[in-house]
Chains A and B, each alone.
Chain A
Amino acid sequence: MMSDRTHLLNFAGNKKAWTVYMTIGNLSEKIRQIAPTQIVVIVAPLPILIKNRNFSQKRLEG
């Protein structure tokens, strides 16, 4: 299992997600790294929470 941040959209809010990938450990590294083998499966694109802009101001005021 591995994950990496991925840029999804540019013009609709610059959305990003952490996609979770999954492979088999029984395969050797040389075969796993070949691109067209499709040994890596996307399990879930986890969304990134958008920060509240007013949150820091409220905290400072409070």
Chain B
Amino acid sequence: MLLRLNKSLKLAELIPTADCSGPASTFVHSYHERFSPCLSLTMLQKTPFRCSEFSCRKKFTSDSWPHKHIKLHQPEHLQVARQKNLTIHSAPRHVDPAQRPEFIAKKDSVEDLDVFPYLEQHENIVDSESQPPPPPLPVTEIYSRASALLSNHIAEPWEREAHRCLETTIQNNPYFPFVMHEKYKNMQCGIKKKGMKMYYDNVLKEENTTLHFPSFKNGDLLQNVLASMSDDQALGEWKLHTLEDMKWNDNDQCPIKYWSRDIIESMGCLMRQPAYVKYLVYATQNCFNSNTPPKRLYTEIQTADW
């Protein structure tokens, strides 16, 4: 902003010299240089500022657009500015030309900057750095045994073999699951001409390849597939139960019927899922909400005493 207001002022004059004979070290914040384009006063008033963020479509027409922009996208910068007692200038302030003395670099020295109020000086950065550091973030302590990877112990051997077979087939034949390059090329031409649906309906069904995907038109079909999965991955079928002793009410004498799954089977299905192997924990752990002082973490799971 200093450079924009006075073109005659050079940045080298503001920097203290090596023998400390120059002016006191000043800290000029660079928010405006970083976030604002170099526009003149008239340009700022006329053209609205479009936010540089990709997801943000806002247009800031007022002079305080950098403040709004930083509040939206960089709120942590505001905290740093408050901690270091810095001020962020939104836009060049309007000063009447009659009240404003012009700064001439040749005549006026840099020590006389107090005369020019629109060239605001800031506090020394050394004083602001002496403030105590912010408190540490909350940390959850987990035992080392709990965080150990258990995939080697839990992963089924058939799963490892399947992965190994797939890798070897891809290495040997880059056109897997097709046998030859010509067949792969013919299939690609067939996809382009017939379309994907024709390809799945006609070609893959005839070839009996493994790339046949079932289409789930409703929830029942999906439930049937889940109930009849192979390799002990099934969730368990629904079972109908009747409570003949109980009735709906005096008017409705029908026995109460309800559907349920076997709890142990469904729990086993959840425990066997290879997708959760990385995250499952089989050891006790003490969870803390904060590190200093240590406080216990109370959630819907962590409720009992240790």
> A59 to B271, alpha carbons, bound, how many Å?
51
The verdict on A29 contacting B301 (CB below 8 Å), with A39-B276, A41-B266, A49-B248 known, is yes
A22 B266 Cβ-Cβ under 8 A: yes
A41 B258 Cβ-Cβ under 8 A: no
B251 A24 Cβ-Cβ under 8 A: no
A24 B250 Cβ-Cβ under 8 A: no
A23 B270 Cβ-Cβ under 8 A: yes
Contacts of B269 in A (CB 8 A): 41
A47 B266 Cβ-Cβ under 8 A: no
Is B5 interfacial (CB 8 A cutoff)? no
> A8 to B257, alpha carbons, bound, how many Å?
16
The verdict on A45 contacting B259 (CB below 8 Å), with A22-B267, A50-B248 known, is yes
> A41 to B236, alpha carbons, bound, how many Å?
11
B259 A22 Cβ-Cβ under 8 A: no
Q: How many residues of A contact B (CB 8 A)?
A: 24
Name the residue of chain A whose CB is nearest to the CB of B269: A41
> Contact flags (1/0) for B237-277 with A, using CB distance below 8 Å?
00000000000111110001111110100110111000110
> A44 to B188, alpha carbons, bound, how many Å?
47
Most chain A beta-carbon contacts within 10 A, residue among B235, B257, B275, B276 = B276
A55 B250 Cβ-Cβ under 8 A: yes
The verdict on A44 contacting B266 (CB below 8 Å), with A26-B281, A29-B301 known, is no
Contacts of B200 in A (CB 8 A): none
Query: Could you say which of A43, A46, A49 contacts B263, with CB atoms under 8 Å apart?
Result: A43
> Contact flags (1/0) for A8-51 with B, using CB distance below 8 Å?
00000000000000111111110100000101011111110111
B249 A50 Cβ-Cβ under 8 A: yes
> A22 to B257, alpha carbons, bound, how many Å?
21
A44 B259 Cβ-Cβ under 8 A: yes
The verdict on A37 contacting B275 (CB below 8 Å), with A26-B281, A43-B263, A44-B258 known, is yes
Query: Could you say which of A26, A28, A43, A50 contacts B260, with CB atoms under 8 Å apart?
Result: A43
B280 A49 Cβ-Cβ under 8 A: no
Contacts of A42 in B (CB 8 A): 261
B261 A54 Cβ-Cβ under 8 A: no
Most chain A beta-carbon contacts within 10 A, residue among B252, B256, B258, B270 = B270
Chain B residues within CB distance 8 Å of chain A: 235, 248-252, 256-261, 263, 266-267, 269-271, 275-276, 279-282, 299-301
Chain A residues within CB distance 8 Å of chain B: 22-29, 31, 37, 39, 41-47, 49-52, 54-55
Ordered nearest first, which 3 A-B pairs have the shortest CB separation? A44-B260, A52-B249, A41-B266
